Structure 1
Amino acid sequence: MRIRRFNPGEEPALFEIYHSAIHLIASRDYTEQQINAWAPAVLDEEVWANRIRVINPFVAELEGALVGYADVQQNGYIDHFFVSGRHPRQGIGSALMAVLESEAKRHQITELTSDVSRTAQPFFAHSGFQIVEQRVPVVRGVEIHNALMRKFI
C-alpha cells in the first residue's frame, strides 16, 4: 500500500470510495433514508471536485487502485476519512490515520478533531480519540447522528 497526496483528476475515484464506504459499511448503523441522503448516487461533479481540491486529501493506493482517502486541515480538523467499502479491515484506515498524525505533528498541530459517524467511532476511539459531543446534523433534510471526537497529539 502506498499513501500519497491526491492528484487532480482523481475526484471520481474518491467519490466511489466515499459512496461505497457509506453504502457498504455505514449502512449497518444507519437507515436507508439516512444513507441515501448522506451519499446519493449522483452528486454535482463540479461541487464534489472543488470540495476534494480544497481539502487536498491523502490517498491510499493498493495495487494501482485508490482504496481510501483522508485529510487534515491546518486547524487539525479531519473533514473526510473514508476507506472503500470493498476494502474494509485491511489496515488502510490505520495507515491513513498514521499519515494524518504525522502531517499534523509536522505542522505543529496539537489537537485533531472530526465529526465521526456511528460506524467510524470505534475506529477513531481505538486511534485515541474521545467523544466530545454527540450531534445530529441534518443532511438533505435527514438527521444523521455523529459525534465530535478529539485527540490531543
Structure 2
Amino acid sequence: MGQALPKPALRPFLGEDTPVLAAIFAASIEGLTGDDYNEAQQQAWASAADDEEQFGKRLASELTLIATLQNSPVGFASLKGVDHIDMLYVHPSAVGQGVASMLCEALEKLAGGRGAKSLTVDASDNAQEFFLKRGYVGMQRNTVSINGEWLANTTMQKMLVHGPAPGVPK
C-alpha cells in the first residue's frame, strides 16, 4: 500500500516567515510561469521580493495565510482589504497537493465572513485556469509595468453571496 501524502495545514503569517515566503514567491514565478512570461518578465516580477523588508511589510499589511506541509511553509496567500486576493503562490515542489485550493478556499471564507459579496484577483496568465475551476469569471485584461517590463494579467471575480438554500427560510 502506498503512503498517503501529508495534508497541508494553514497558519497565520509571522514576521520571521518573510525570507522563506520571498523564496517561495521567486521559485513559484521562476518555476511555474515560463510558458506565459519570458525570462525578463519573470525577473522583473520576482524582484518584488528582493527587498525583504518591504516584502514583509506588504505581507503584514494584509491578511496573509501560510500553507505548510510537515510544518514547513510551501505556499502563501494574502487578502487585501476585504475582497481582493493580492497574492497566491505555491512552491513548485508542492503543486498538485491541494495547497493553492486550501489557501484560496480559506481566503474566500474569510472574505465572506468579513461581509464581502464577491472576491477579485488579478490572475497571471498561468493562474487563470485554477481560478476558472474555482468559479471565478474573467472581467478584464490588464497590462502592468514592473521594472520596465510589461506583464499581462486578468482581473477575475467570484460571487461569494448566494441566496438561502432551497427550503431554508429567509
TM bucket (normalised to shorter chain) is: over 0.9
SS at match of 1:19: helix
Shift of the alpha carbon at 1:51?
Answer: 1.1
SS at match of 2:158: strand
Alignment partners' CA distance in 2, 1:2 and 1:87 = 13
Alignment partners' CA distance in 2, 1:29 and 1:133 = 18
Paired residues in the alignment total 153
* 1:55-134 equivalence runs, <5 A: 55-134=62-141
**Percentage of pairs with the same residue:** 30
Shift of the alpha carbon at 1:73?
Answer: 2.7
Native 8 Å contact 2:75 2:99 kept in 1: yes
Q: TM-score, normalised by structure 1?
A: 0.95
Alignment partners' CA distance in 2, 1:27 and 1:15 = 19
Structure 2 gap ranges (5+): 1-7, 161-170
Alignment partners' CA distance in 1, 2:47 and 2:81 = 29
Q: Paired residue for 1:20, among 27, 36, 45?
A: 27
Runs of 4 or more above 4 Å deviation: none
Alignment partners' CA distance in 2, 1:101 and 1:7 = 21
Native 8 Å contact 2:25 2:49 kept in 1: no
Native 8 Å contact 2:62 2:81 kept in 1: no
Shift of the alpha carbon at 1:148?
Answer: 0.6
Higher RCO (C-alpha under 8 Å, 6+ residues apart)? 1
SS at match of 1:27: coil
Find the counterpart in structure 2 of residue 43 from structure 1: 50
Q: TM-score, normalised by structure 2?
A: 0.86
Structure 1 gap ranges (5+): none
CA RMSD, Structure 1 to Structure 2 (Å): 1.4
Find the counterpart in structure 1 of residue 11 from structure 2: 4
Alignment partners' CA distance in 2, 1:97 and 1:139 = 25
Shift of the alpha carbon at 1:28?
Answer: 2.1
Report the residue type matching 1:50 in the other structure. K
The structure whose Rg is larger is 2
Report the residue type matching 1:127 in the other structure. R
Find the counterpart in structure 2 of residue 31 from structure 1: 38
- Whether 2:151 is the aligned partner of 1:144: answer yes
String of CA shifts for 1:54-85, please: whole Å, max 9, x gaps: 12301101012101111223330110111112
Alignment partners' CA distance in 1, 2:153 and 2:63 = 23
Report the residue type matching 1:40 in the other structure. S
